[in-house]
Structure 1
Amino acid sequence: MQELNIELFRNLIKTKKITELREIFEEYNSVDIADNINELNEDELLFLFKVIPSYNSAEVFTYLDQNAKEKLINLFSNQDIQKVLEEIYTDDIVDFIEDLPTNLIRKVLRSINKETRNDVNKILNYPEDSIGSIMNIGYVELEEDDTCKEALAKIREQGDKAESISYAYIVDKKRTLNGYISLKNIIMSNEKEVIGDLMEKDIISVMYEDDKEKASLIFKKYDMSVLPVVNKENKLIGVITADDILDVVTEEATEDIQIMSGSSPLDGMYMDSSVFSLFKKRFFWLLILMISAVFTGMIISKSESILINIPALAIFMPMLNGTAGNAGNQTTGIVTRGVSIETISTKDWGRVVWKEIRVALLLGIGMSICAYGWMWIEKWLGIIDVTDTSLFFVVSLSMFISIVIAKVIGASLPILAKLCKLDPAVMAGPFVTTLVDALTVALYYGLAALLLI
């Protein structure tokens, strides 16, 4: 098989080798094809999707970048859109149209059939972070009195619209979810056996209004591949599959990293974000952190007399602040992640803090000894000019205490955020560093005033 690249597609499009293009769409993975055609220009993309049958091009379309999808929707006729989208699952349609400009959303909704349009509108009306917004309304449903033979016939009939047929769900006349059964169990059973006798009644499901992150935790806990979604009356309204949850996990992790770095989460991919949108996402956070850092400046200003008496104090301030801040961030990152995936609960606060205090004591001793030795080396090499070497003891003691304080703060803030129903990531990163900086400076100057003056 030849290696795919954008030049190959451009040459085949330019020479109009339609048969070879169709063979590529038949033989190669849809993800690989999408990766190599994202950067084609509008005319090339349109030609490609015009000559490739929709049953082959539809899956490739779902893996294109948002920009490429937007180009195509803009160029497609209503009939073109209908041909491609009728081969795509409803949740995948929702995924890409919710990021389209309003005029293109209207164009898509006008182009698809009434049934799909109603389904798409229904999902779009769910809150953005809810399970309902990512669920698929295509699934296989059976009745308790179906035989295995009848069940297989229903699976064949409904399977085309279902994103997954590994499990079928048993509902009554009112669509209340009563159980589920695996396709394997149906196939391996006698065709005359009744589904009601074979189904599992211990159902794990989620509510449509629950947070998406809850679904990801359930998938992980129970090692599931498909999860039924119900409403308040326990009526089956959709399913979530593992690939939907993989997107959620990636999105949540990305948001946490962005928040921990002192930025609001981006609305899309970084490369698709404008300079002004990046400015808006970052300015507010930087402003807050700048204002909060004023407290550190106030502490230094109030301690000016100490600094005049012992100018050498300033030499070691960056080392102290950097070490303490990094120590706090180490803990914050781990605890924030633990709280996010619910391996750490608010009830664990005491255990977490006690564990981090013990870690901090060991780190504090180790780092203080290293810092003390390094300061003597710098003095011996003539890098620093310090006459009163008792300052080295103050620096080492400050480092020891500040590491302990930083670890306690780093362990406590994410749990406190969870307790206040805030995103734990908000309390991470820059906020911890800013708070620890202020406390470290206050501690450092306080010990210097107490022990050296």
Structure 2
Amino acid sequence: MTENPPSSTRRSNVSRQELVELVRSQLEALLQQENFQGAKALLVPVQPVDIAQAIEDLPKAMQAIAFRLLSKQEAIEVYEYLDSSVQQSLIAELRHQEVFDIIDKMSPDDRARLFDELPAKVVRRLLEQLSPDEREATALLLGYKEGTAGRIMTTEYLSVKEGLTISQAIERVRVFASAAETIYYLYVTDRERRLTGTLSFRDLVIAQPEQRLGEIMTCDVVFVHTDTDQEEVARVIQHYDLVAVPVVDTEQRLVGIVTVDDVLDVLEQETTEDIYTLGGLEAGGDRYFQTNILTAARKRVVWLFVLLIANTGTATVISSQEDVLKQVVALAAFIPLLIDAGGNVGAQSSTVVIRGLNLKEVGIKKALQIVTRETITGALLGVMLGVAVIIWAYFLEGSLPIAITVGMSLVAITIIAAFSGSGLPFLFGSLGLDPALMSAPFITTAVDVLGVFVYLMIARVILQI
């Protein structure tokens, strides 16, 4: 007995992720039973983006089979939502004509992203099969530098001449709307295709039919250039609450638009890269958990080696102060506590500063103000933590001098950590280096080496060794 597709009632009682998992499990069961008609019926009421996720989670051998169950139009929509690794796998599995039909109907920006992941030989073959217009649009996007507005824009937009009347513009929308990525905005250009204004579809509908577009359009246009960084494009769309932003070339000619759905993909990609970088991992385009073990290890080993070598400085400091530790062995027990606490404070300071730099909330001009603020914050944190540590150390060792040594050292270490954590991102940023990538290992090294050194120096003074 085959399983039935999830009903609309059941859907209302589950989350989107649970629905996708339900569809995937039922789809896999139906394919195992070779009940292709039932599998096809299962996918009919499901959104393309959810179908894509369900197919991605299937065993690799079943992905092409499930994809072939989709209608031609649905297959085109679903294909654009698939992960690039699955897209490449399907290209190898599907017949040439099936691949061509899908690739030719994809939006130019999604097609360009796919071609970025494919071997050059395959890209050349697919480009040759595209219609002249689609080939030109794709080649245009591939000609721009990766990570720029030109690379992520789509050339499927609606533009109108400023001399048209409202009724003429509406007629143009009727004719060309199906080929546009979005019709929420219309972009007004002059005879040389230079961007002169925009108007929303709402403005178009409520205007009088005989009015000219030039009379009602917004002349103060928010736009980006083809070489604008994709993160900056995302910030522009977020700041101005836009559904799409026009892209112009060096001569102010309209060449495309970047839509909010593309920006969401960019934000996810950039955020993932930042998180990997902060963790000391090599950022990559592939999903981490889909990579093999050797690749995963390679992505993580580089900075671990750097930290391993850097931490030999801590061992050197401890070795040089061996006489202190020999006389008061109890001091050694608190070294991990001190450097770990300092590392945590440094990580907090660097995180807020790096995030502020990424969001453009702070800049190099505010470096002194931010570093001073974080250093004072570190001192306050050190005092609060130091009091607790003095009490705890006295409880453990029964020696007030040792307890005071540990407490005072913690105050000094948190100040060093906060100063390093907030100052190093600005330093590396000013040198043109990635603050997220460079800061973590240097902060760890500074806190470990200086922290242990300061701790043992304070011990010499207080304990009179």
Go from structure 1 to structure 2 and tell me whether the alpha carbon gap of 1:155 and 1:126 turns closer, same or farther (over 3 Å shift).
same
Deviation at 1:426, TM superposition (A): 1.8
Deviation at 1:323, TM superposition (A): 0.3
The one-letter amino acid of 1:230's match is V
Query: Would you say the 8 A contact 2:393–2:402 is kept in 1?
Result: no
Deviation at 1:164, TM superposition (A): 1.3
Query: Would you say the 8 A contact 1:78–1:108 is kept in 2?
Result: no
The one-letter amino acid of 1:421's match is G
Deviation at 1:40, TM superposition (A): 4.2
SS of aligned partner of 1:239: strand
Which residue pairs with 2:233 in the alignment?
Answer: 215
Query: Does residue 1:286 correspond to 2:304, yes or no?
Result: yes
- 1:25-69 deviations in Å (ceiling 9; x for gaps): 442211221222224456644444445322112111122233332
Which residue pairs with 2:406 in the alignment?
Answer: 395
Gaps of 5+ in 1: 381-387
Query: Would you say the 8 A contact 1:324–1:406 is kept in 2?
Result: yes
Which residue pairs with 2:15 in the alignment?
Answer: none
CA distance in structure 1 between the partners assigned to 2:28 and 2:414 by the alignment: 58
Which residue pairs with 2:191 in the alignment?
Answer: 173
Which residue pairs with 2:428 in the alignment?
Answer: 417
Of residues 325-334 and 302-311 in structure 1, the stretch that sits farther from structure 2 once superposed is 302-311
CA distance in structure 2 between the partners assigned to 1:349 and 1:164 by the alignment: 42
Go from structure 1 to structure 2 and tell me whether the alpha carbon gap of 1:43 and 1:277 turns closer, same or farther (over 3 Å shift).
closer
Gaps of 5+ in 2: 1-5, 8-18
Which residue pairs with 1:383 in the alignment?
Answer: none
Of residues 24-33 and 193-202 in structure 1, the stretch that sits farther from structure 2 once superposed is 24-33
Go from structure 1 to structure 2 and tell me whether the alpha carbon gap of 1:377 and 1:75 turns closer, same or farther (over 3 Å shift).
same
Query: Would you say the 8 A contact 1:368–1:399 is kept in 2?
Result: yes
Query: Would you say the 8 A contact 1:81–1:111 is kept in 2?
Result: no
Q: Provide TM-score, normalisation by structure 1.
A: 0.92
Which residue pairs with 1:130 in the alignment?
Answer: 148
Which residue pairs with 2:418 in the alignment?
Answer: 407
CA distance in structure 2 between the partners assigned to 1:77 and 1:95 by the alignment: 21
CA distance in structure 1 between the partners assigned to 2:223 and 2:456 by the alignment: 57
Q: Provide TM-score, normalisation by structure 2.
A: 0.90
Which residue pairs with 1:450 in the alignment?
Answer: 461
Go from structure 1 to structure 2 and tell me whether the alpha carbon gap of 1:397 and 1:94 turns closer, same or farther (over 3 Å shift).
same
SS of aligned partner of 1:181: strand
The one-letter amino acid of 1:426's match is L
CA distance in structure 2 between the partners assigned to 1:144 and 1:44 by the alignment: 52
CA distance in structure 2 between the partners assigned to 1:39 and 1:270 by the alignment: 15
Query: Does residue 1:440 correspond to 2:451, yes or no?
Result: yes
CA distance in structure 1 between the partners assigned to 2:227 and 2:457 by the alignment: 52
> Which among 49, 69, 75 is matched to residue 57 of structure 1?
75
Q: Aligned runs of 1:155-304 on 2, under 5 Å? A: 155-304=173-322
Query: Would you say the 8 A contact 1:333–1:428 is kept in 2?
Result: no
Deviation at 1:89, TM superposition (A): 1.1
> Which among 35, 42, 52 is matched to residue 34 of structure 1?
52
> Which among 350, 366, 370 is matched to residue 348 of structure 1?
366
Query: Would you say the 8 A contact 1:21–1:52 is kept in 2?
Result: no
User: Identity percentage over the alignment?
Assistant: 29
Deviation at 1:16, TM superposition (A): 5.2
Query: Would you say the 8 A contact 2:280–2:300 is kept in 1?
Result: yes
Go from structure 1 to structure 2 and tell me whether the alpha carbon gap of 1:199 and 1:251 turns closer, same or farther (over 3 Å shift).
same
Structure 1 stretches of at least 4 aligned residues deviating more than 6 Å after TM superposition = none
Query: Does residue 1:87 correspond to 2:105, yes or no?
Result: yes
CA distance in structure 1 between the partners assigned to 2:298 and 2:337 by the alignment: 32
SS of aligned partner of 1:159: helix
CA distance in structure 1 between the partners assigned to 2:351 and 2:57 by the alignment: 36
Q: Would you say how many aligned residue pairs link Structure 1 and Structure 2?
A: 445
Of residues 84-93 and 220-229 in structure 1, the stretch that sits farther from structure 2 once superposed is 84-93
Of residues 79-88 and 208-217 in structure 1, the stretch that sits farther from structure 2 once superposed is 79-88
The one-letter amino acid of 1:79's match is Q
The one-letter amino acid of 2:442's match is F
Query: Would you say the 8 A contact 1:143–1:172 is kept in 2?
Result: yes
Query: Would you say the 8 A contact 1:170–1:180 is kept in 2?
Result: yes
